[in-house]
């Protein structure tokens, strides 16, 4: 029996080894094939219309994954990089084979600042004399905002246009906690620091209502300005249309000049043929934006040795390594060191798109920016949000540039501890602790938080807040009192932040890159993107990406989008470690 067991173990081991070797060989072959073949098989024909679908998740930076299992098993996240989209539009302006752009989006998976950046670039494209048209079966609000830049806008005759103004929604859990005996112990600084407000109350505080209303109106004002200019209307008219839902169906939208006409898809294709000069029986040359990017048009080519480094910090800030989805101090510090040590890199743009997170990780990144500034100019470009910890890691740059709709500020901190002592008492669980010293036990979720532990933790929160404000005051050349008066966890838009001194100027990533080049006194340059998201073989197997992807997909399917959102938020809060410098709440503006 022992011999048979050992024999089976050897056979199993050999089988596993061969399987691993087989998968590695496929991965190597895939990598070699993609590196040699990328862009070579995709040709841009004459008289081509570039089509925008944008149904993938749009990230500021989305390099191709080096995980071979994503491509083999088809489990990779569908994504596009904002930088590649902007570069592609820039290239299309001067591409003689591209005659125009057709926006064909029902929903766009991007933040408002990212959408505004794409829209601004499409406006530039129009100035080249080429056309931009838009068609959708239905328009949601963000999609209509983007599409309103077009010369002509068409909608399906039985479609709809949802234009009603912005809203934000928060869930409150105080009653839930009281009912089930599960409580979040909260320690915070900042009257506007409402990340933890849902666990302290059943309704929105006046301070939170004030700041939310103000930044929503500020963002909406930007969108209205752009739509009014494109549709040749006043801001008052756009707001009246939103208030009375006067674009809710194609007839009303047409009457109020919010669309050019209502058409079926085949009729829209006929218009594209007319614009292309193609006869009815001729073939319309269309190319997807993603294919155009794959052909090599997602990069701006230059032969210059000079480089402007763009270091991308995207996602929540967590203590640790970091990856494409979250900011860890290890990866960002490594990228900053690599950029400043390169003799070809003349300046660094730090692109921040983050709601914040770990105060410790934020401070470590702040320190690395301090060291980098001593050698090369550092310019921050803010994306959808650079709030709380996202602002912490931005505040000491030589210059800060934000989009008008960027969510920023939120200079405040908090700590949160899960406590289910009430629940354990109800169901008959008793916890006993034994320690060697007075403070050795500290905190346990099975007992109510003690006054002494609360005060010690509160002291830590206050220390981090004071440090945070001092960092900002030094970086912005303002006094502690001046920063404290606009801090307290208060959220601002980029436009408001310019007015109160937290941001230097409004602009997009391209503007930040141009500013970096000017500060470095270089005219010709190439862009070098960081960090490099690399995984070794052990990481690929350890990540169990296939299993995780399937698990998330099943949870979403069973719980539904709304319930899955609640689940993921509670899971996220449970994983908070240490003092948090984080955006007041998970912000989804609709």
The DSSP 8-state label assigned to residue 258 in this structure reads S
In which element (H, E) is residue 326 found?
A: strand 326-328
> Edge-to-edge strands of the sheet including 131-136?
261-262, 152-155, 131-136, 98-103, 48-52, 286-288
CA distances (Å), origin 477, targets 465, 469, 480, 500, 502:
18, 12, 10, 13, 10
The residue written with tokens 């080894």 in the block is 17
Q: Would you state the torsion angle of the CA atoms of residues 149, 152, 155, 156, taken in this order, to the nearest 10 degrees?
A: -150
**Which pLDDT score, from 0 to 100, does residue 461 have?**
87
**Which pLDDT score, from 0 to 100, does residue 78 have?**
79
The DSSP 8-state label assigned to residue 294 in this structure reads I
Strand extents, DSSP E, 89-130: 98-103
CA distances (Å), origin 461, targets 267, 380, 467:
62, 27, 10
CATH code, 48-164+245-297: 3.90.226.10
Pair 51, 276: CB distance under 8 Å: no
Among candidate residues 389, 484, 447, the one with its CA nearest the CA of residue 195: 389
- What gap in Å lies between CA 589 and CA 170, rounded to an integer? 11
**Which pLDDT score, from 0 to 100, does residue 34 have?**
45
* 474 is known as an active-site residue: no
Among 130, 193, 233, 290, which one carries the catalytic annotation? 193
**Which pLDDT score, from 0 to 100, does residue 204 have?**
87
- 475 three-class SS: helix
**Which pLDDT score, from 0 to 100, does residue 272 have?**
94
Q: What pLDDT, in 10s, does the model give residues 126-170?
A: 999 999 999 999 999 999 999 999 999 999 999 999 999 998 888
- What gap in Å lies between CA 324 and CA 331, rounded to an integer? 10
For the domain 307-431+446-534+548-582, what is the CATH superfamily, name and number?
2-enoyl-CoA Hydratase; Chain A, domain 1 (3.90.226.10)
**Which pLDDT score, from 0 to 100, does residue 16 have?**
57
**Which pLDDT score, from 0 to 100, does residue 374 have?**
96
* 571 is known as an active-site residue: no
Pair 405, 168: CB distance under 8 Å: no
**Which pLDDT score, from 0 to 100, does residue 30 have?**
46
The residues of the chain scoring below 50 in pLDDT are: 27-39, 543-547
Q: Where are the domains of the chain?
A: 48-164+245-297, 307-431+446-534+548-582
Q: In this structure, how many other beta carbons lie within 10 angstroms of the beta carbon of residue 296?
A: 15
Asked whether the CA dihedral 198, 201, 202, 208 is positive or negative, the reply is negative
**Which pLDDT score, from 0 to 100, does residue 168 have?**
85
Q: What residues have CB less than 8 Å from 556, skipping those under 6 apart? A: 564
CA distances (Å), origin 312, targets 61, 380, 453:
7, 10, 38
Among 388, 394, 410, 421, which one carries the catalytic annotation? 388
Domains 48-164+245-297 and 307-431+446-534+548-582 share a fold: yes
Pair 588, 495: CB distance under 8 Å: no
């Amino acid at each position: 029996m022992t011999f048979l067991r050992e024999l089976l173990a050897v056979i199993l081991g050999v089988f596993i080894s061969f399987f691993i070797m087989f998968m590695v060989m496929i991965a190597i072959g895939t990598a070699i094939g993609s590196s040699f073949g990328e862009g070579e098989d995709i040709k841009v024909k004459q008289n081509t219309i570039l089509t925008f679908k944008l149904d993938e998740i749009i990230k500021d930076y989305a390099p191709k994954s080096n995980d071979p299992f994503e491509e083999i098993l088809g489990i990779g996240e569908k994504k596009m990089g904002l930088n590649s989209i902007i570069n592609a539009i820039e290239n299309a302006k001067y591409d003689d084979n591209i005659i125009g752009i057709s926006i064909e989006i029902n929903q766009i998976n991007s933040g408002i600042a990212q959408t505004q950046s794409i829209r601004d670039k499409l406006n530039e494209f129009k100035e080249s004399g080429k056309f931009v048209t838009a068609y959708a079966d239905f328009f949601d609000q963000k999609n209509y905002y983007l599409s309103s830049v077009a010369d002509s806008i068409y909608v399906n005759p039985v479609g709809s246009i949802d234009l009603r103004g912005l809203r934000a929604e928060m869930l409150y859990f105080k009653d839930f906690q009281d009912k089930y005996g599960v409580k979040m112990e909260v320690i915070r600084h900042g009257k506007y620091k409402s990340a933890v407000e849902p666990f302290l109350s059943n309704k929105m505080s006046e301070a939170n209502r004030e700041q939310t209303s103000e930044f929503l109106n500020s963002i909406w004002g930007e969108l209205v300005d752009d739509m009014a200019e494109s549709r040749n209307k006043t801001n008052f008219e756009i707001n009246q249309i939103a208030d009375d839902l006067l674009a809710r169906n194609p007839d009303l939208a047409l009457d109020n000049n919010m669309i050019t006409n209502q058409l079926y898809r085949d009729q829209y294709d006929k218009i594209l043929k007319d614009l292309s000069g193609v006869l009815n029986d001729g073939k319309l040359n269309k190319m997807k934006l993603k294919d155009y990017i794959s052909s090599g048009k997602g990069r701006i080519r230059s032969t210059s040795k000079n480089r402007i480094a763009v270091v991308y910090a995207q996602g929540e800030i967590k203590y640790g390594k970091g990856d494409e989805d979250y900011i860890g101090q290890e990866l960002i510090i490594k990228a900053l060191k690599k950029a400043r040590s390169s003799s070809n890199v003349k300046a660094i743009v730090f692109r921040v798109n983050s709601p914040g997170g770990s105060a410790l990780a934020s401070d470590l990144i702040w320190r690395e920016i301090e060291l980098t500034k001593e050698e090369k100019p550092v310019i921050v470009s803010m994306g959808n949000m650079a709030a709380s910890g996202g602002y912490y890691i931005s505040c000491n740059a030589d210059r800060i540039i934000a989009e008008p709709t960027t969510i920023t500020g939120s200079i405040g901190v908090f700590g949160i501890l899960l406590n289910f002592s009430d629940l354990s008492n109800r169901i008959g669980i008793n916890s006993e602790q034994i320690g060697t010293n007075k403070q050795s036990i500290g905190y346990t979720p099975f007992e109510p938080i003690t006054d002494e532990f609360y005060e010690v933790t509160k002291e830590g929160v206050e220390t981090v807040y004071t440090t945070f404000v001092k960092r900002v005051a030094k970086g912005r050349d303002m006094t502690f009192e001046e920063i404290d008066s606009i801090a307290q966890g208060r959220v601002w838009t980029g436009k408001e932040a310019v007015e109160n001194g937290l941001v230097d100027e409004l602009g997009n990533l391209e503007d930040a890159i141009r500013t970096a080049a000017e500060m470095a006194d270089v005219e010709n340059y190439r862009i070098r993107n960081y960090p490099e998201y690399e995984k070794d073989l052990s990481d690929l197997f350890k990540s169990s990406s296939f299993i995780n992807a399937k698990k998330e997909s099943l949870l979403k399917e069973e719980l539904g989008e709304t319930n899955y959102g609640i689940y993921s938020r509670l899971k996220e809060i449970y994983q908070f470690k240490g003092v948090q410098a984080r955006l007041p709440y998970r912000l989804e503006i609709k």
